[in-house]
Amino acid sequence: MAGNGNRGVRYMGPGKVEVADLDYPDFELHDGPGVNPANVGRKVPHGVILRTVATNICGSDQHMVRGRTTAPEGLVLGHEITGEIVEKGPDVEFLEVGDLVSVPFNISCGRCRNCKEGKTGVCLNVNPDRPGSAYGYVDMGGWVGGQAESVLVPYADWNCLKFPDRDQAMAKIQDLAMLSDIFPTGYHGCYTAGVTTGSTVYIAGAGPVGLAAATSAFLLGAAVVIVGDLNQERLAQARSFGCETVDVTQGHPRDQIEQILGEPEVDAGVDAVGFEAHGQGAEAQQELPATVLNSLMEIVRAGGALGIPGLYVTGDPGAADDAAKVGSLSIRLGLGWAKSHAFFTGQCPVMRYNRQLMMAILHDRVQIAKNVGATVISLDDAPRGYAEFDQGAARKYILNPNNLIPT
């Protein structure tokens, strides 16, 4: 297999991605853009090589492509991966060539203290710089991204979620493609915010993660799901599956929430926006990164919780001020303290939820692909997908590198 070719999507500077020839993966981590020097030469006998079936463009990728991180040029992008095993390392025991699998975006070893506690988003052994890792992502150890025809997945017995029936899985592949990141991430935001039967929920952001969170809120039994955004097309997408919506260009969400519920507070709040948040009302065109967190503290009832799956970073060269460049925001912590709020942050530990959500998909309990506007495009169309997503398209782009997804 090692003689095969490979093509994938690379970040080439702010606003620019390209589809280029890449090395075919083997069972070793090689030097390249973004690879931590301490990881170069790392052997991966516990890995598998996948022929990629589906790999999605994510808002987290978009942050890098906008130049809002310290990502190096040439970085191979992509952390939302679904694929077929075509080769396995000598230490892989429980997977076989031909298996169709979903890959959590967080890379974890299954051996460290955090993995054993289910905290796979902060694995201690895969990134020499800090806890936590992901494919094709800045400061995450340098594991090569999956927006490519082929990709290496380490610790495969631990990381891969095998679909029980190949034909059944391919019939629902656009839904199952969301298991690698946004569906568990949205679910994690709602679950940690305490969403349950009869809850009222406010979700900030109607991008794919926000729409996945809204889908998850209904799955968890919420009575009312309210989604706020600046983008009218995305708000319409939220309404298409039963959400109430708030147009934050009209001002603080509180007043519109009161019109919907009869009171200005909700039981649970989810931040699906992150560090590129904009203001509200007259400030809607201005980047104000603490806006969502501060407004959620006002909106969520005393004793409630905030799920924060939206991405916040420690390095943002494009930030509006020096404090935000290192991830320091003017958060009204006193308000959250006074209301006894709980805050849940960090990467979603995908493995905590992906099997259960897979079962919900396979048994027709949820239509996540429809709800997030899943749109299949070719690998060569990736630059167009990035550009349209950046312009606010109400779509979740799925790349089809090997033309295995029926269209």
pTM over 0.75: yes
Is 94 a domain residue? yes
Is 222 a domain residue? yes
230/371 same-domain check: no
168/254 same-domain check: no
- The length of the chain is 407
CATH of residue 54: 3.90.180.10
Mean pLDDT computed over 233-244: 98
How far apart CA 163 and CA 73 sit, in angstroms, is 35
CB contact at 8 A, 189 and 274:
no
361/250 same-domain check: no
Is 147 a domain residue? yes
CA 19 to centroid of chain Cα atoms: 22
* % of the chain exceeding 90 in pLDDT: 88
355/327 same-domain check: no
Split into its structural domains, the chain has a count of: 2
Nearest alpha-carbon partner for 373 in 171, 245, 238, 246: 238
286/330 same-domain check: yes
How far apart CA 50 and CA 70 sit, in angstroms, is 28
Digit-coded pLDDT (tens) for 160-217: 999 999 999 999 999 999 999 999 999 999 999 999 999 999 999 999 999 999 999 9
Is 143 a domain residue? yes
Residue 2's pLDDT is what?
A: 45
CA angle 28, 30, 36 (to 5 degrees): 110
365's CB contacts (< 8 A; 6+ apart) are 219, 359
Q: Which of 344, 372, 390 is the last residue of a domain?
A: 344
> Residue type for 313, please?
V
CA angle 369, 204, 224 (to 5 degrees): 75
Residue 313's pLDDT is what?
A: 84
CATH of residue 298: 3.40.50.720
Number of neighbours of residue 106 by Cβ within 10 angstroms: 28
Residue 276 pLDDT class (50, 70, 90 cuts): confident
172/210 same-domain check: no
Q: Is 294 helix (H, G, I), strand (E, B) or coil?
A: helix
Which helix (H) or strand (E) is 387 found in, with range?
Answer: helix 382-390
263/171 same-domain check: no
Q: What is the mean pLDDT of the chain?
A: 95
143/228 same-domain check: no
Which residue did the predictor score with more confidence, 78 or 278?
Answer: 78
Task: Check whether 3 has a pLDDT greater than 60.
Answer: no
196/164 same-domain check: no
* Distance (Å) of CA 165 to CA 12, 175, 359: 39, 15, 12
156/253 same-domain check: no
Residue 1's pLDDT is what?
A: 43
- Domain containing 340: what range? 182-344
Mean pLDDT computed over 70-94: 97
Q: Which of 301, 329, 344 is the last residue of a domain?
A: 344
Residue 282 pLDDT class (50, 70, 90 cuts): confident
Is 405 a domain residue? no
Digit-coded pLDDT (tens) for 120-149: 999 999 999 999 999 999 999 999 999 999
Nearest-10 Cα torsion for 326, 327, 332, 336: -140
Is 404 a domain residue? no
50/162 same-domain check: yes
Is 1 a domain residue? no
Is 406 a domain residue? no
147/202 same-domain check: no
